Amino acid sequence: MDTPSRDQPFGSLSVAMVTPFASDGTVDPERAAALAVHLVDSGCDGLVVTGTTGETSTLTDEENVTMFRAVVEAVGGRARIVAGTGSNDTAHSISLSKRAQQAGADGLLLVTPYYNKPSQAGLQAHFTAIADATELPIMLYDIPGRSGVPIATETILRLAEHPRILALKDAKADYTATTRVLSATDLAVYSGDDGLTLPLMAAGAVGVVSVTAQIAPRRFRELVDAAFAGDFSTARQAHFDLDPLIRAVMTHLQGAVAAKQILHWQGLLPEPGVRLPLVTPTAQELEPVLADLAEAARSLDLDFDLKDLKQEVLP
């Protein structure tokens, strides 16, 4: 694999991987490795390990490191392996980031500190301290809907001057603010909202960090490649084809819950279990997911029989 460039430091189609659990609730590194191989074989050139979708908030540090090592060993050198090491405790994030580097990760995903609601000066100090403490390139993760605090545009502009802060995963849904980041910095911007991949790439984003792409990686690959090539007719059709699948994964349930359930139906996860406080969905909760999947199946191969599945799942 080529040396990463600042223009595209973490690939173009990166999947926010789920963390597979065995039937007893323990992390299943063998299944994680198998899923990573499947995703890379299907066109993904980046994998985010133990991010939000990887349920990092309920993993121990040892479990995080186990996941980093499993994925690095499985596909290291074939895709950029980005470790989710962000938290609302700067010292803890530094410690886990150092362990991610030792485990062979290619980069770090640092989410905005959540719950304690720091000031913008606090955010800048937090991200800078982590960047100063490791040698790995960093992707900032701006998702105020989860963290409670946005990374202000001016703060992003200042952080972009740090030699190891190379990218932004943008999940703020503020197109104007993202446009300013794209025009005023050389940060590699990645869509952090699956449904906004096409419009953000039209403005200059280099790709997506996607939850839904682990369900349909090849179609997402087609969207990203077409957008890069300036073939927006093809990219637009892929965007339309993926829309009901994105709704199925991201609209009705928490993303990890929905993604694990569909991966289970695809035969890629033996167990769809999640950790408390997340719970597996009821048949009633799955009904709108199945309705969206039926719409998606008109243009996507989802690798399972929806008719049989509905008879099995719905009362």
Which residue, among 20, 21, 22, 2, has the nearest Cα to 12 in the 3D structure? 2
Q: How many CA atoms lie within 13 A of 179 on its CB side?
A: 6
The one catalytic residue in 98, 115, 117, 169 is 169
CB-CB contact of 224 with 201 (8 Å): yes
Q: Which of 141, 172, 190, 260 is catalytic?
A: 141
Yes or no: say if 182 and 203 are a contact pair by the CB < 8 Å rule: yes
CA distance 89 to 302: 40
DSSP state string for 96-122: HHHHHHHTT-SEEEEEPP-SS---HHH
Can 141 be counted among the known catalytic residues?
yes
Spatial neighbors of 309 by CB under 8 A, at least 6 apart, are 265, 290
Give the residue from 218, 296, 269 showing the smallest Cα distance to 23.
269
Q: Which residue has the tokens 């009362």?
A: 315
Active site residue 175: no
Q: How many CA atoms lie within 13 A of 301 on its CB side?
A: 3
- Separation CA 258–CA 220 (nearest Å): 18
- Give catalytic residue positions: 141, 169
